[in-house]
């Protein structure tokens, strides 16, 4: 079976991990109603420093107790062992990613966090990852659970995969994704990767 991707870019929270962050609670504590990172850009330095501290505290607590989605470690390992680079692209902090890696033993060929520059839904993180990995965006697959993941990947010209967290329903924008899956293991046959028999 031929491999269908030159690189795979995974989202973190809600995709590789079970949803970790209570965004409503964070917004309430910071005092914003808009998306948190975008709202923070418009703040004064003092207000942004306060908001940063709140966000980082929530992220640290969430990473410390994080749980992987079923099959997450196996899927990432299968992608990399097939010869396809695996990247992580998240709006979380690099410190949270490092905690996740230490806690769960995950390895990636590249990591992109909010400290690295442009963030989803901008396509720029995908372009940057592709340049580093020396692959074309059109040959790259992006996997995520949120609308920003799909918008970002599509704008870059990548193949987009939506992981549904709800076992029954799906969001109104689900048809914007090229593929929709309900478990991470469903990604492997789409990529042309055979899952190894653990028995």
Calculate mean pLDDT across residues 21-44. Answer: 79
Calculate mean pLDDT across residues 122-147. Answer: 96
Show me where the domains of the chain are located: 7-18+68-191, 23-64
DSSP 64-95: HT--BPTTHHHHHHHHHHTT--EEEE-SS-HH
**Pair of tokens at residue 73:** 């470690």
Is 69's pLDDT higher than 60? yes
**CATH architecture, domain defined by 7-18+68-191:** 3-Layer(aba) Sandwich (3.40)
| pTM of the complete model | 0.89
The helix/strand/coil state of 109 is coil
Distances (CA, A) of 77 to 2, 120, 146, 173, 195: 18, 24, 23, 30, 10
């Amino acid at each position: 079976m031929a491999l269908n991707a030159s690189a795979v870019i995974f989202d973190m929270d809600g995709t590789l991990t079970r949803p970790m962050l209570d965004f409503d609670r964070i917004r309430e504590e910071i005092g914003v109603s808009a998306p948190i990172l975008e709202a923070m850009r418009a703040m004064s330095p003092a207000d942004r420093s306060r908001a940063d501290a709140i966000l980082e505290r929530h992220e640290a607590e969430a990473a410390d107790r994080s749980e992987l989605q079923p099959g997450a470690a196996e899927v990432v390992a299968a992608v990399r062992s097939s010869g396809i680079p695996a990247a992580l692209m998240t709006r979380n902090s690099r410190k949270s990613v490092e905690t996740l890696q230490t806690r769960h033993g995950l390895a990636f060929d590249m990591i992109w966090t909010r400290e690295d520059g442009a963030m989803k839904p901008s396509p720029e993180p995908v372009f940057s990852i592709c340049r580093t990995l020396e692959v074309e965006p059109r040959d790259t697959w992006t996997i995520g659970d949120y609308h920003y993941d799909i918008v970002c990947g599509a704008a870059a010209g990548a193949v987009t995969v939506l992981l549904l967290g709800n076992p029954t329903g799906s969001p109104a924008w689900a048809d914007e994704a090229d593929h929709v899956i309900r478990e991470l293991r469903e990604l492997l046959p789409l990529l042309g990767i055979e899952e190894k028999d653990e028995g």
